[in-house]
């Protein structure tokens, strides 16, 4: 579901960056108090949780792969605005450091998964869990349903963005300049895998995490965003322990991340320019696209934009590590460690702000 560089036209990228920028601005305004409090670890832990969850690739029909997002649990605990920031942070790290998603398409990926995913999950969860007590198991069911629907809405938006490219952006001969497949191919190819296995994976992770939090610290489930705003109101007593059960979950998932590379194949629509030119890979692309052959030549716009950014550790595979399993694990550890350090720095800055305000 991570759209690479070259698959969307510059105008499409610019439009989706503008929409995402509006979402980020609104999220920052609505969560401004959070950045002066001890709530920052909650945003960091959900960025780490989402990052790690997305490292678990699962095989999908047609020989492709997919993954869950972790956006539903983030929304349930943080609320949709803070969840938007957490998931966007995870997607930014993926794009910049590991080449998972493009730089030109980061706005599109954040709009689809962080913004739309958060608000769809929020709306569905609130609807299904309405009136349920904190300890009610209906919250587990609500989380599963919200996860399933939200990831499929994200996938549908991605399929539309792919599918409109050949219709609007092509050369004089009609050859596509960017994503090569039209809507009639992109929508079924993307949705079949998400309506089945990827959607179920998101549902299971969402329901499982809510069940875990019900047992470990149900305060996090008072209402979407309740934990964030309760902590935002705190000016004295430290409650960073609220995030401890979540960090334990991230740590366990992190140790299991090497399982994520066992699934063979590439996610639909995430092929490189070399894949589109390779005979063996072209056969796999055709099979995954309902036997529609990719274009005979690499789309010129795709080929040009695909080389705009080279990530330091592309594919979560540091070049200095021979073992792909160890490289995958260390990539995840590096990203989580980066988020922990960012959280500690932000907390330190927040404390200085509070001391300055208190002294003035």
Q: What is the pLDDT along the chain (360 residues), one digit of tens a residue?
A: 899 999 999 999 999 999 999 999 999 988 876 555 556 778 888 999 999 999 999 999 888 999 999 999 999 999 999 999 999 999 999 999 999 999 999 999 999 999 999 999 999 999 999 988 888 899 999 999 999 999 999 999 999 999 999 999 999 999 999 999 999 999 999 999 999 999 999 999 999 999 998 988 787 887 676 555 555 444 444 444 556 777 788 888 888 888 888 887 889 999 998 899 888 889 999 999 988 999 888 999 999 999 899 999 999 988 888 898 999 999 999 999 988 887 777 667 666 766 776 776
Q: Is the dihedral of CA 342, 343, 345, 350 positive or negative?
A: positive
3-class state of residue 60 by DSSP: strand
DSSP percent split of the chain into helix, strand, coil, nearest 5? 70, 0, 30
Give the model's pLDDT for residue 82: 92
Whether residue 148 contacts residue 199, with contact meaning beta carbons closer than 8 Å, is answered with yes
pTM over 0.75: yes
User: CA 75, CA 41: separation in Å to the nearest integer?
Assistant: 15
User: CA 318, CA 324: separation in Å to the nearest integer?
Assistant: 9
Helices 80-98, 40-53: inter-axial angle, 10-degree rounding: 50
- For the beta carbon of residue 130, count every other beta carbon within 10 angstroms: 9
Give the model's pLDDT for residue 233: 47
- Scan for tokens 């330190």, then name that residue: 348
Question: Long-range contacts for 160-169 (Cβ within 8 Å, ≥24 apart)?
Answer: 160/186, 160/187, 161/3, 161/8, 161/12, 161/16, 161/108, 161/112, 162/3, 162/7, 162/186, 162/190, 162/269, 163/187, 164/12, 165/7, 165/8, 165/9, 165/12, 168/9, 169/9, 169/12, 169/301
Helices 117-128, 71-78: inter-axial angle, 10-degree rounding: 70
Give the model's pLDDT for residue 56: 93
Distances (CA, A) of 328 to 22, 318, 333: 34, 8, 9
Give the model's pLDDT for residue 111: 98
Using alpha carbons, select from 300, 301, 296, 305 the residue that is nearest to residue 277. 296
Q: What are phi and psi of 170, to 5 degrees?
A: -150, 165
The radius of gyration computed from the CA coordinates of the chain, to the nearest angstrom, equals 21
Give the model's pLDDT for residue 151: 98
pLDDT digits (tens, 9 = 90+) for 260-309: 888 878 899 999 988 998 888 899 999 999 889 998 889 999 999 998 99
Give the model's pLDDT for residue 227: 58
Cross-strand bridge partners of residue 66: 58
Whether residue 209 contacts residue 221, with contact meaning beta carbons closer than 8 Å, is answered with no
User: CA 203, CA 120: separation in Å to the nearest integer?
Assistant: 14
Give the model's pLDDT for residue 256: 86
Percent of the residues in the chain that have a pLDDT greater than 90, as a whole number: 60
Instruction: Return all residues near 215 (Cβ < 8 A) that are at least 6 apart.
Output: none
Please give the span between the terminal C-alpha atoms of the chain, in angstroms, as a whole number: 49
The architecture that CATH gives domain 10-359 is Orthogonal Bundle (1.10)
3-class state of residue 270 by DSSP: coil
Give the model's pLDDT for residue 33: 64
């Amino acid at each position: 579901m991570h759209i690479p560089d070259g698959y969307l036209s510059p105008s499409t990228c610019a439009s989706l960056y503008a929409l995402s920028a509006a979402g980020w601005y609104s999220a920052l305004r609505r969560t401004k108090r959070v950045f002066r409090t001890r709530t920052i670890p909650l945003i960091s832990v959900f960025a780490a949780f989402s990052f790690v969850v997305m490292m678990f690739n699962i095989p999908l029909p047609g020989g492709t792969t997919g993954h869950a997002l972790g956006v539903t649990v983030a929304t349930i605990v943080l609320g949709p605005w803070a969840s938007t920031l957490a998931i966007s942070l995870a997607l930014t790290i993926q794009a910049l450091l590991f080449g998972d998603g493009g730089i030109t398409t980061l706005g599109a990926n954040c709009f689809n998964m962080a913004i739309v995913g958060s608000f769809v999950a929020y709306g569905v969860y609130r609807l299904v869990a309405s009136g349920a007590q904190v300890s009610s198991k209906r919250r587990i069911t609500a989380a599963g349903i919200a996860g399933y629907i939200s990831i499929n809405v994200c996938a549908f938006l991605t399929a539309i963005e792919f599918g409109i490219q050949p219709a609007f952006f092509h050369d004089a001969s009609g050859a596509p300049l960017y994503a090569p497949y039209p809507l009639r191919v992109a929508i079924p190819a993307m949705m079949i895998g998400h309506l089945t296995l990827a959607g179920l994976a998101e549902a299971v992770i969402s329901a499982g995490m809510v069940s875990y939090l019900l047992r470990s610290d149900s305060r996090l489930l008072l209402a979407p965003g309740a934990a964030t705003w309760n902590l935002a109101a705190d000016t004295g007593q430290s409650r960073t322990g609220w995030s401890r059960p979540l960090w334990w979950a991230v740590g366990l998932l992190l140790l299991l991340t090497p399982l994520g590379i066992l699934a063979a194949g590439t996610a639909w629509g995430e092929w490189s320019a070399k894949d589109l030119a390779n005979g063996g890979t072209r056969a796999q692309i055709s099979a995954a696209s309902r036997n529609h052959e990719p274009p005979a030549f690499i789309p010129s716009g795709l080929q040009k934009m695909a080389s705009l950014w080279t990530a330091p550790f592309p594919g979560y595979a540091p070049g200095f590590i021979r073992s792909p399993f160890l490289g995958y694990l260390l990539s995840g550890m590096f990203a989580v460690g980066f988020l922990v350090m960012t959280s500690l720095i932000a907390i330190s800055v927040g404390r200085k702000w509070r001391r300055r305000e208190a002294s003035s």
